[in-house]
Amino acid sequence: MVSEYEIKKQICDIGKRIYDRGMVAANDGNISVKISDNEFLCTPTGVSKGFMTPEYICKVDAKGNVIQANGNFKPSSEIKMHMRVYEQRPDVKSVVHAHPIYATSFAIAGIPLTQPIMPEAVIALGCVPIAEYGTPSTMEIPDAVEKYLPYFDAVLLANHGALAYSDSLLAAYHKMESLEFYAELLFKARQLGGPKELSNTQVERLYEIRRQFGLSGKHPADVCARNKNGETSCHNCGACNLPKTEASDSDLVAEITKKVLASLNK
């Protein structure tokens, strides 16, 4: 089994990678790893993720409360966003949040990454929606990303950055890297007159390859509502096809019941 110290070192390595690749500026970004059902390692708030040593890494419980932290280090101000991912996606073992230039530019322009332009991006990422804007460090961001979590392994955060998660730290980092590479290609192709998109049939064949590989995570190839209805995926479900969540249905039923009871009591 990999020791906790080893995982802390790996978090520092990935922190250096995202910093060196310009995916974060100054003290931006945060990383976490699930080590047990109620124990998570995370980067501290307010430090450059490019210069961390294992002593910097904090340990929190599933509610984001500190279990262990050295000196003045406190867990990332965005820990609640990470915890919402773990809560909604038991398959996820690591979460990476960064502000890569191209992906964040799309998030600022309000353009989701949904154009099918190259096979690797279609297979690895599917499409990447934009979660509504929320103030960093508040519950607004976890609340905004929640509805996308069952359907996507990466989400842009409006006017802010990107969130990627997977079943290992390296896989979560790779998702972030693929997302940024895809955003850069899309940006440059748009400058060259616009990308020639893959056709629905070509996309469907790539989805089939992904299914054959049995890749983990959530992807339109497996969860797209249109696909499930036997239709061709538009590869453009920047949430247009998200089914209503159970929570919103039950909220509605509760609201109607309340109104009926109130009118009976009049």
From the candidates 4, 39, 55, 78, give the one annotated as an active-site residue: 78
Q: Provide, rounded to whole angstroms, the least separation between the CB of residue 49 and ligand 13P.
A: 8
> Least Å distance between CB 31 and ligand 13P?
9
Instruction: Return the number of the residue (66 or 117) whose C-beta is nearest ligand 13P.
Output: 66
Q: Which two tokens stand for residue 183?
A: 């955003």
DSSP-derived 3-state class of residue 206: helix
Measured from the CB of residue 88, what is the shortest distance to ligand 13P in angstroms? 19
Distance CA 120, CA 106 (A): 19
Residue 78 annotated in active site: yes
Rounded Cα distance between 170 and 101, Å, is 20
> Which residues here bind ligand 13P, judged by CB under 6 A?
27-30, 43, 45-46, 76-78, 136
CA distances from 86 to 35, 64, 82, 92, 96 (A): 11, 11, 7, 6, 12
Provide, rounded to whole angstroms, the least separation between the CB of residue 77 and ligand 13P.
Answer: 3
Q: Which is nearer to ligand 13P, 29 or 129 (CB)?
A: 29
**Counting every residue, how long is the chain?**
266
Residues involved in catalysis: 78
